[in-house]
Amino acid sequence: MFEKSRALFYAVLVHVALLVFLVFSVDWDHVPTQAAQKKIDVVQAVAVDESKIQQELEKLQRAEQQKSEREQRATAKAKEAQRKRRKEEQRLKTAEKKRKAEERRAKALKKERQKQAAQREKQKRSEAQRLEAQKKRRTEEKKRKQVEAKRLAQEREEKRRQTEAKKRKDAEARRVAELEAQRSMEAEQRRQAEEQRRQALRDRRLNALRSKYISAIAQKVERNWARPPGASAGIDCDVKVHQIPGGEVINATVTRCNADAIVQRSIENAVRKASPLPLPPDPALFDRDLVFTFHPRD
């Protein structure tokens, strides 16, 4: 726009310069009066020409303005065309990018599908191998279990035979032990019966000897007893005697008596006088602390 205004300015400036040249190119001193008249005509002509020039300038301005408007419209149209062209180019680029992206995505998808198919095939082979290995392990495990079951059955059978043999052996041992215990018990019973029989005989013998022993002690005490005056008949007293081996009396005490104290003292004195007391016919009858009944004849 600035370039167009400058061109118009230059055109006007050229016309003004031409007009000035025409005016000042006439020599006014050398022209006669008739010439002066012509000068007036020239001035008028120049004035007319200036009006034309002004009209021409306006015409040029209008033409320049129209040209400028045409150029502006052309520029706007060109810019719009350029914008549309760029938009179309951008659309084509976007479409091309989209197409390439679709191609890449399709290739990637195809590659991914091929990869997945390969993985599925690999997994299928692996699964088949795993199933085959599992089947083989199951077969081996079944064989192992059969062998183990057979071994366990043999062990149970052997254990059963050993248990039966042990039971028979234990039963035989118990039977032998029971017989031995029965024989031992019977022997012990016989021994105990014999011992009891012997003890009974010994006890009867000792009892008989003891009766004689106690009777001998009572008789000797009675021989050494001095009946107190006024002692009643039927005296019956229990006397406890403490003696040492050999029959020597250490102490004598009447524990139960139907007589008075004088009689009791006389009996105790009689026991001391009878020391040493008669010895038993069997040493087993000796007792450091013995009790006998003093029952003198009236």
Sequence spans of domains, the chain = 2-100
Strand partners, 238: 256, 293
**Mean pLDDT, consecutive 10-residue segments, the chain of 298 residues?**
57 60 48 51 56 80 84 85 86 85 83 85 87 89 91 92 91 91 90 90 87 93 91 91 94 93 94 93 90 89
Q: Residue 257's pLDDT is what?
A: 93
Q: Residue 112's pLDDT is what?
A: 86
Instruction: Kindly give, in sequence order, each residue whose CB lies less than 8 Å from that of residue 273, ignoring residues fewer than 6 positions away.
Output: 224
Q: Residue 93's pLDDT is what?
A: 86
Tokens for 118, please give them: 């390969």
Q: Residue 6's pLDDT is what?
A: 61
DSSP string, 81-116: HHHHHHHHHHHHHHHHHHHHHHHHHHHHHHHHHHHH
**Of 275, 259, 266, 270, the residue nearest 221 (C-alpha):** 270
Q: Residue 47's pLDDT is what?
A: 54
What ranges in the chain are assigned the alpha helix state H?
2-24, 33-223, 261-273
Could you give the angle at which helices 33-223 and 261-273 cross, rounded to 10 degrees?
Answer: 80
